[in-house]
Amino acid sequence: MNVWEWAGDLYRQIRWMDVLIAFGIMAVFFIVNRLLVTYVFSMINKKFKAEENALMWRQAFEKPLRLFLMLLGVYWGLKYLLPGGWSTAIMLDRWFRSAVIILTGWGLLVLSNQSSFLLEEISKKIRLDDSSMLIPFLSKVLRFVVFVLIITLVASEWGFSMSGVIAGMGLGSLAIALAAKDTLGNIIGGIVIILEKPFSKGDWILTPSVEGFVEDITFRSTKIRTFADAFVTVPNATLSGQPITNWSRMGKRRIQFTLNVALDSDRERLDAATTRMERMLREDERIDPATIMVKFTEFQESSLGIMFYFFTKTTVWAEYLAIREDINLTVLEVLEEEGVRLAYPSQRVFLEELGAESGPAREFQSISTAGH
């Protein structure tokens, strides 16, 4: 039977009154879609305006529900119109069930993309902070699972056996396992990072390979924005096996250095300068008062060493540098007022005249001005 004969046979079997009824059924569902659904969702918006979870469900399933009602009208109209044999021939039921599966999966994908209320409730129970990457990571896992379920259910609806496909893949399972080893390692590394929480989204971290701010974590990698505004992707397996310094979790930031002053500095003036500099740090509200040390600690070949050891209350890099600059300028001011000079590289050379009538050795001081 060719196409024209098939169409002619169908034309003779269709009753035109049934066609009108079928279009009437479709029209009813289109009207329901336009009026009832709009009214229902408007009522939901008014009643649950302050509840974020209800709005998330509404945004996720409004379009799929509208399409479902239109699809249901077309399905029932065709079921009424077509004879049983024709309905079976064009596999109308399979098309309808497949469409319902896809629409349901579409709504679930949108819902999981917005972090469903279930994941939010879990985060509250385990007391996760807002910067935790666990919820976005689980949301990605949930979307992947929903996507796989959609494909599986639609394939099974059309007679494809997923068990047979999986069994067939057993022949190349070893090759696939070897090829997927790195990917699996990255997924496990991502799970380890999220569970151990060495950093959160937005933290400033330092590793042997990169330094910057964490922007996101995916199945395979972690996204880091460097200070040069470059976007670096680090595999999770690599990152989880490296030492990670999280600068954002410092409660305070250390300043430690040794100030070298002239070797011939007056003892009393040196003691007065040291006392004044320590008092200056203790009176500064930007300095943590718990640990402040300014002590004369070292004798060196050409200088005396004064150790500074204290912490700033801020960990912000720009603020830290500003505080350090102010302190350095104040230290210079104290040294100038107390008459204590900074040390500079120098060496002493003794020359001895040879001969029977040589006089005493003469001393010369050579001053190195390199860098000055």
Task: Tell me the two tokens of residue 27.
Answer: 């029209």
Among 75-84, 141-150, 350-359, the range scoring the smallest mean pLDDT is 350-359
**Confidence class for position 370, pLDDT limits 50, 70, 90:** very low
Please identify which residue in the block is written with the tokens 């209350």.
313
Task: Give residue 372's pLDDT.
Answer: 38
Check if the beta carbon of residue 123 is closer than 8 Å to that of residue 132: yes
What is residue 87's predicted lDDT score, i.e. its pLDDT? 53
Question: What is the structure's pLDDT at 271?
Answer: 93
- What pLDDT, on a 0 to 100 scale, did the predictor assign at position 171? 46
Largest CA distance in the chain: 143
What do you get for the CA distance between the two ends of the chain, in Å? 102
Q: What phi, psi does 124 have (nearest 5°)?
A: -70, -40
| pLDDT (tens digit per residue) in 238-251 | 888 888 888 878 78
Give Cα separations from 32 to 61, 69, 72, 365 (angstroms).
16, 8, 11, 102
Torsion of CA 35, 64, 110, 40, to 10 degrees: 20
pLDDT of residue 125: 56
Region of poorest pLDDT, from 118-132, 265-279, 305-319, 331-345: 118-132
For 70-84, 235-249, 271-285, which range has the lowest pLDDT when averaged over its residues?
70-84
Distance (Å, whole) CA 104 – CA 110: 10
- Report the C-alpha gap between 274 and 268 in whole angstroms: 10
Contact between 308 and 256 (Cβ < 8 Å):
yes
> What pLDDT score was predicted for residue 371?
40
Sheet containing 253-262, strands listed edge to edge, beginning at the edge strand earlier in sequence: 253-262, 303-312, 287-299
Instruction: Identify the band that residue 47 occupies on the pLDDT scale cut at 50, 70 and 90.
Output: low
Q: Please state, in angstroms and rounded to a whole number, the distance separating the CA atoms of residues 264 and 365.
A: 14
Mean per-residue pLDDT, 78-82: 71
Of 99, 138, 146, residue with least CA distance to 115: 138
pLDDT band at 120 (very low <50, low <70, confident <90, very high): low
Tens-place pLDDT, residues 339-359: 999 987 666 665 665 555 555
Q: How confident is the model at residue 330 (pLDDT cuts 50, 70, 90)?
A: very high
Helices (H) and strands (E) in the chain, counts: 13, 10
3 state SS of 198: coil
- 75 pLDDT exceeds 50? yes
> Would you say residue 332 has pLDDT above 50?
yes
Q: Encoding tokens for residue 52? A: 């974020």
Q: Where are the beta strands (DSSP E) in the chain?
A: 204-206, 211-217, 221-226, 231-235, 245-246, 253-262, 287-299, 303-312, 346-351, 362-367
pLDDT of residue 284: 92
The position carrying tokens 């002619």 is 8
- pLDDT beyond 80 at 23: no
Per-residue model confidence as pLDDT tens digits over 159-204 = 776 565 555 545 445 555 555 567 777 777 877 787 778 888 888 8
- Picking from 370, 350, 366, the residue whose alpha carbon sits closest to that of residue 358 is 350
Residue 155 has pLDDT above 60, yes or no: yes
β-bridge mates for residue 255, sequence order: 310
